[in-house]
Amino acid sequence: MADELKQLVDALAVVHGDNLKSVVLYGSAVASGLVDDDVPKKVLVVLHTIAPADLQAAHPVAEDWRLAGNPLPVYFTTEEIADAADVFPIEFIDMSQVRHVLYGKDPFDHLDIQTDNLRHQLEYELRAKLLRLRQLYITTRHNPARLAELMANSLDSFAVLFRHVLAMTGNDAPFAKRDSVMKTAEALRLDKKIFTRIFEFADREDVWLEAETQATFAGYLKQIEGVIDVVDKLPDA
């Protein structure tokens, strides 16, 4: 276990004591089977019970973790893990597919993740992100750099959902974000050039011209709408 992960687990054990059930590292940081120190680390904390006092006590630990460049830990109770498996199929599938238990028992061992609501949740998440993208465009449309950054950041979020679109359409679903996006573009016959150009922004070495940025954004919206149209027509599980 990496030093920072051990320090986190030790700190959580002190803060929560016997109430601490599990600590799980999940997501891109362990996608290769090893801990990638260059990727923000997502952590799930499972307690027997959660009261405001437990969250207040966790604040210093969680804040230090956030300041180190990681997302805030996600908190669930043991009972919620079992009860919410049908409500959050996307999140639970992602957590269960790529994970490493840092402390306690594996909360996903023998967990039955119901997928009856998966298509509905997937369409909801895609449409919500599309609406948000349109809103943010209003305030960034005249700033090419900000608009390019908006596309790059939002594509990271869409990539997670695209992985589930691939799985639901019977395709292999790679975990890496870029692979997931490009595979989706290929499977759904979308414009790969649009996504490739947006991924290039991560290098931050080129200057986006306003005309190009506007054209790329228009094409980007069209591709997202195309994905949503496919999901809308999929049968429920």
pLDDT digit string, tens, across residues 35-64: 777 788 999 999 999 999 999 999 999 999
Q: Are residues 53 and 151 in the same domain?
A: no
Domain count along the chain = 2
Which tokens in the block code for residue 146? 């900000």
78 plus 155 within the same structural domain: no
Same domain (yes/no): 123, 207: yes
CB of 4 closer than 8 Å to CB of 25: no
Q: Residue 88, Cβ neighbours under 10 Å: how many?
A: 17
Q: Tell me: do 92 and 138 sit in the same domain.
A: no
Indicate whether 30 belongs to any domain: yes
Query: Are 98 and 130 contained in the same domain?
Result: no
The whole-angstrom separation of Cα 111 and Cα 122 is 21
Percent of the chain scoring above 90 in pLDDT? 70
Q: Same domain, yes or no, for 127 and 173?
A: yes
pLDDT in the model for residue 204: 63
CATH label of the domain that carries residue 70: 3.30.460
User: pLDDT tens, 204-227?
Assistant: 666 788 899 999 999 999 999 999
| Same domain for 134 and 95 | no
Same domain, 24 and 88: yes
The answer on 160 and 191 residing in a single domain is yes
Question: For residue 223, what are its two tokens?
Answer: 């591709």
- Asked, for residue 109, whether it belongs to a domain, the answer is no
Question: What rounded mean pLDDT belongs to the chain?
Answer: 91
Q: For position 205, what pLDDT does the model report? A: 67
Are 10 and 97 in the same domain?
Answer: yes
Domain that holds residue 85: 3-104
Mean pLDDT (whole number) for 181-200: 95
- In the listed set 53, 73, 104, which residue is the last one of a domain according to the structure? 104
- The Cα–Cα gap between 37 and 163 comes to 23
Reduce the DSSP state of residue 45 to 3 states and report it: strand
